[in-house]
Structure 1
Amino acid sequence: MMRKVPENAVICGDSIEEMKKIPDNSVHLLLSDIPYGIGLEDWDVLHANTNSAYGGSSPAQG
């Protein structure tokens, strides 16, 4: 089902399924936070993920 997307909207869900609902030529930027569903349990270690908003580490790093 296609839907009109409000300006500056944040859409949460499975990115592949949600993108199917967005009309063609209606989006200037699509940002997806990956990797999900690729089987790498240690991705935080592989990418040395840090985020100053969380005091220097992501919540996933424990």
Structure 2
Amino acid sequence: MMNKRTLIILEVIWIVIGVFCIAAAIHNKINSGGERFLILLGMGILSFVMAYIRDRQRKKK
């Protein structure tokens, strides 16, 4: 089983990845016309969902 500190670290990592993916999606939309906008946006949303799941796991323990 993972301890609480590990779950917090994983949660923060997922949030950081999500922020970077959303920022990259916006940057791609502005500079390149959005060739990879939806992929990056989807990855960002998925990262926030994973952070939410980790948050729920941490709060259950």
Q: TM-score, normalised by structure 1?
A: 0.28
Higher Rg = 1
Which structure ranks higher in relative contact order (CA pairs < 8 Å, sequence separation ≥ 6)? 2
Q: TM-score, normalised by structure 2?
A: 0.28
Q: 1 or 2, which has the higher helix percentage?
A: 2
